Amino acid sequence: MARTTDFSTWLAKFAADFDKQLNVVLGDELSHDSRLHQAVKYALLGKGKRIRPALCCLVASNGAPNEAVMRTAMAIEAVHTYSLVHDDLPAMDDDCLRRGRATVHVQFDEATAILCGDALLTYAFELLATVDVDAEQRIELVRVLSQSAGHNGMVLGQHLDIDATSQSISFEELQNIHLLKTTELIASAIEMGSVLAGQNTDKWRKFGEKIGMLFQVVDDILDVTADSEQLGKTAGKDDAAQKPTAVSVLGLDEAREFAAQLCATAENGLQQLGVESTNPLNQLPSFLLDRSF
């Protein structure tokens, strides 16, 4: 438990630094006096956990990012935030609460929320295009992020997730949805960190897949065990919307056991990657397993 608290402290500090730098960049690059720019800033500067940018920075630079790493991390967060804005729309999950406040279509309007998501997605690639690294690395960053977010990644996962609503699906089918909808982007944040660090991207990607799965299984558990205030989003939503989840398919106890197994596998993966003992990444799996928000 003490190790989890340490990581929480580290993540809170990282998120505060990240938000500060993001605020400056958005002030420079999204300065049009329009509802669209207001909506993008509202969505991006909401109180997110910043897990994905943190993972990129931890792998790229032991958590002490330079400007190129930070810009890459912002691009990943922009894609993630777009997915949340669009997922909350009436045509998808139809939610009114996100990051502890009104969703973008409730705060602004539906057309602005759609355009806000579009702007965030394209802005992510504008950010990446101007990351100050070798051209080959920059192209690799674009490849990894576009593949994980797109038609063979998160968007496909969202489509399959919508199709699976009210259906009875197998654990394997559920895992495939989780892999696409959630894990792809988390694993890519880790892989992009390894691209920036010039390390073996395949090994990091494999570790990222365990972390992404662990994140989603715990998300499914929290949906039934935590309340909306803790989560900053509507709790109990999966059950109400008849979404298949790790809990609905496996049951709560087995889902917890599965999460614990994923945590152990991820910890083992970290040892094999030879991560420095001072890197907070060592505490990440147990933090994700024990998180309550």
Q: What residues have CB less than 8 Å from 126, skipping those under 6 apart?
A: none
DSSP tag of 281: G
Instruction: Identify the H or E element spanning 98.
Output: strand 97-98
In the complex, minimum distance from the CB of residue 53 to ligand GRG, in angstroms, rounded to a whole number: 10
Cβ 88 to ligand GRG shortest distance, Å: 8
Spatial separation of the C-alpha atoms in residues 192 and 194, rounded to whole Å: 5
121 vs 141, which CB is nearer to ligand GRG? 121
User: Shortest distance, CB of residue 149 to ligand GRG, whole angstroms?
Assistant: 8
Least separation in angstroms between residue 194's CB and ligand GRG is 20
Separation of alpha carbons 293 and 101, rounded Å: 15
CA-CA distance, 178 to 163, in Å (whole number)? Answer: 14
- DSSP single-letter state for residue 245: -
Ramachandran class of 113: left when φ > 0, alpha when ψ lies in -120 to 50, beta otherwise = alpha
- Measured from the CB of residue 136, what is the shortest distance to ligand GRG in angstroms? 28
Nearer to ligand GRG, 102 or 203 (CB): 102
CB of 117 to ligand GRG, least distance (A): 7
Of 137 and 224, the one with the shorter C-beta distance to ligand GRG is 224
50 versus 138: smaller Cβ distance to ligand GRG:
50
Residue whose tokens read 């593949």: 147
- Name which of 83 and 112 has its Cβ closer to ligand GRG: 83
Nearer to ligand GRG, 138 or 233 (CB): 233
- Please identify, using beta-carbon distances, which residue of 111 and 139 lies nearer to ligand GRG: 111
**What are the distances in angstroms from CA 154 to CA 116, 188, 189, 268?**
18, 11, 13, 27
Minimum distance from CB of 86 to ligand GRG (Å)?
Answer: 4
- Which positions lie near ligand GRG, rule CB under 6 A? 48-49, 51, 83-84, 86-87, 99, 154-155, 158, 181-182, 216, 219
